[in-house]
Amino acid sequence: MLRLLTAEEIGLHYLMLTAGTLVALFDFGFAPQFGRNVSYVFSGAQEIKKEGVQIIKSQSVINYRLLSNMIQTARLFYRFLALIVLLVMLVFGTLYMYQVTDGFVKVENTLIIWIIFSFATFFNLNFAYYTALLTGQGLIMESKKAILYSKLVYIILAFIFLFLDFGLLGVTFAGLIMPFVQRFIAHSYFFKKEITDQLNLFQISFQEKFQLFKILGYNASKLGLVLIGAFAVTRFSLFLSGLYLTLPETAAYGLMVQLFSIINTLSGTLFGIYQPRLAALRVEDSKWGMLKDFAFSMQIYYLFFLIGAITLVISGTWLLSLIGSNAVLPPMYVLAIYGLVVFLEGNHANFATFIITNNDIPFVPSSLVAGTIIVAGSFMILKWTTLGLVGLVMVQGLTQLAYANWKWPYEVCKSFNISFLKFLIIGFRESRNKIALGLASSSD
C-alpha cells in the first residue's frame, strides 16, 4: 500500500482507520466486560455481579443457562449497535470525508470507498462478540487463528486488487470480506456440539437478557467512558490533522501512530493471552499467582517494546525508502519522543487493565480529564502554532505524565504491598524460572 497508493490515498486510509477505531467505542466497553464475565462463567461463577467477582473456593460446574443468556444478550446488543453505527457513518462520516477531501476530489472514488468501509465496519461490529467468547473460554490460540486467517485473506485480496490497479477501493473491498471469514472460523471453534447441545436446552426471555445487560452495562458504561478518554488521548489528534494538515502530512502522522501501535500490540500479546487466566485467578483469590503472571507478562512487554521501538526510530525511514514508500515518517526526534510516550501509555494501560480484572474501574474521571485536555491542547497547537506533529506528541505525553503514567502502576504495586522495583524483580525471576524450565524440558 505504501508503495502503490498515493500519499493522499494513504492519508485517507489512516483517517478511515481512525474512524473505525472511533465507532468501536460505540459498544461503550461492552466487549471487554462481556469477555471478562465469560471467563468468570467458565471458571465456575454461578452469578454475575455489578462490582467485584464471586470467589469460588472449590471446583464448580459451568452454569450453561447463564452462559446462554450472555451469548444471546451480546448477539442482540451488537446487532442493534451495528445498525446505529452504520447510520452514523453514512450520515456524519460522509460529511467529514467530504470536508477533508475537498468535496471527494482529492482521492478518486472517495464516496464509494467510504460507503464500502462503512458496511465493513458494520459487519465487524455485528460479529464482535465472537472474539470475546473464545478468549473468555480460554481458547486463546483459536481466537488468534480466527483473526490471523481472516487477516491473511484480507492481505491476499488487497495484494491482488492493488496490483490490478484498483487502488484504495480494492483495499477497502478486501476489508469488507474479512469479518465474514473471521466469523465463520470463530463460530466453528466455539460452538462445538457439546456446548451447542447444552446451550440449546435453554429458552432465555427478553426480561432475562435485559436484566443481564443492566448488570454488564454497569461497569461497561464506566469502561466505555475510559475508552472514549483513551481515544481522545491517542487517536483524536488524527481527526484534527485531517482538518488542519495536508493529507501527506496526515499520512506521515498516521504511519507513525500505526507502526508504534503494532509494536505496542505485539509486545502486549502475552499480557493479552494471560487476561482470562488473571480473571480466573481473581475468582480463585490467588494473589501470588496473579502477581507472578502479571509481572512476567509485563517483563516480556518491556523487552519487546524497547527492541521494536529502537529499531523503528533508527531504521524506519531507511526501510520505507527501501520499499519505495510514497508516505514518509516524521523526523527521528519526533519518532523517539512519540515512542517514549507510547511506551509509558502502554505500561499504565496494562496496569489499569489488571485493575479491571477485579471488575473495578476507578479511573473514569482521570481518563476523561486527560482526554479533554489533549483534545483542547491538540486543537490549539494545530490552529495557533506551527509546531505541527511534535506539538501533538508533546501535548499527549505531558498530559499523561502528569498523572496516569505513574498513578495506576503505583496503585497496583500498593495493592500487593511492594515497590515498582520489587515488581520488576519478580518479573525478572519469573522470566528466569520459565527459561530454566524450558531448557530442562528440552534437554529431557
Distances (CA, A) of 443 to 314, 432, 436, 437: 38, 17, 11, 10
Check if the beta carbon of residue 145 is closer than 8 Å to that of residue 85. no
**C-alpha–C-alpha distance, residues 139 and 251, integer Å:** 36
pLDDT tens, position by position, 12-27: 888 888 777 777 666 6
Of 135-139, 163-167, 435-439, the poorest mean pLDDT is in 435-439
Give the pLDDT band of residue 312 (cuts 50, 70, 90): very high
Give the pLDDT band of residue 141 (cuts 50, 70, 90): confident
Residue 227: pLDDT over 70: no
Check if the beta carbon of residue 37 is closer than 8 Å to that of residue 70. yes
Give the pLDDT band of residue 29 (cuts 50, 70, 90): low
Per-residue pLDDT at 296: 93
Q: Which residues of 358-377 are buried (b: 16+ CB within 10 A; e: fewer)?
A: bbebebbebbeebbebbbeb
**C-alpha–C-alpha distance, residues 151 and 260, integer Å:** 19
Q: Which residues of 309-327 are buried (b: 16+ CB within 10 A; e: fewer)?
A: beebbeebbeebeeeebbb
**C-alpha–C-alpha distance, residues 444 and 439, integer Å:** 9
With a CB cutoff of 8 Å and minimum separation 6, the contacts of 394 are 337, 387
Check if the beta carbon of residue 167 is closer than 8 Å to that of residue 11. no
Residue 443: pLDDT over 60: no
Per-residue pLDDT at 194: 82
Per-residue pLDDT at 204: 81
**C-alpha–C-alpha distance, residues 421 and 419, integer Å:** 5
Chain-centroid distance, C-alpha 391: 25
Check if the beta carbon of residue 64 is closer than 8 Å to that of residue 198. yes
**C-alpha–C-alpha distance, residues 216 and 345, integer Å:** 27
Q: Which residues of 40-56 are buried (b: 16+ CB within 10 A; e: fewer)?
A: bbbbbbeebeeeebeeb
**C-alpha–C-alpha distance, residues 191 and 198, integer Å:** 10
Give the pLDDT band of residue 51 (cuts 50, 70, 90): low
Give the pLDDT band of residue 69 (cuts 50, 70, 90): confident
Check if the beta carbon of residue 434 is closer than 8 Å to that of residue 296. yes
With a CB cutoff of 8 Å and minimum separation 6, the contacts of 348 are 400, 404, 405, 406, 407, 408, 409
Task: Give the residue among 256, 436, 280 at the shortest CA–CA distance from 358.
Answer: 280
Long-range contacts at 44-49 (CB < 8 A, ≥ 24 apart)? 44/283, 45/283, 48/212, 48/215, 48/216, 49/215, 49/359
**C-alpha–C-alpha distance, residues 340 and 37, integer Å:** 33
Chain-centroid distance, C-alpha 96: 24
Of 113-127, 228-242, 343-357, the poorest mean pLDDT is in 228-242
Check if the beta carbon of residue 55 is closer than 8 Å to that of residue 150. no
With a CB cutoff of 8 Å and minimum separation 6, the contacts of 376 are none
**Angle between helical axes of 129-137 and 167-190 (0-180°, round to 10):** 40
Q: Mean of the pLDDT values across residues 230-250?
A: 71
DSSP code of residue 27: G
Residue 55: pLDDT over 70: no
DSSP H helices, 323-401, are: 332-356, 364-384, 388-401
Residue 39: pLDDT over 60: yes
DSSP code of residue 93: I
Which class for 304: exposed (0-12), middle (13-18), buried (19 or more C-beta within 10 A)?
middle
Per-residue pLDDT at 59: 56
Between 95 and 285, whose confidence is greater? Answer: 95
Residue 58: pLDDT over 70: no
DSSP code of residue 26: G
Of 198-212, 287-301, 306-320, the poorest mean pLDDT is in 198-212
Task: Give the residue among 212, 276, 219, 224 at the shortest CA–CA distance from 72.
Answer: 212
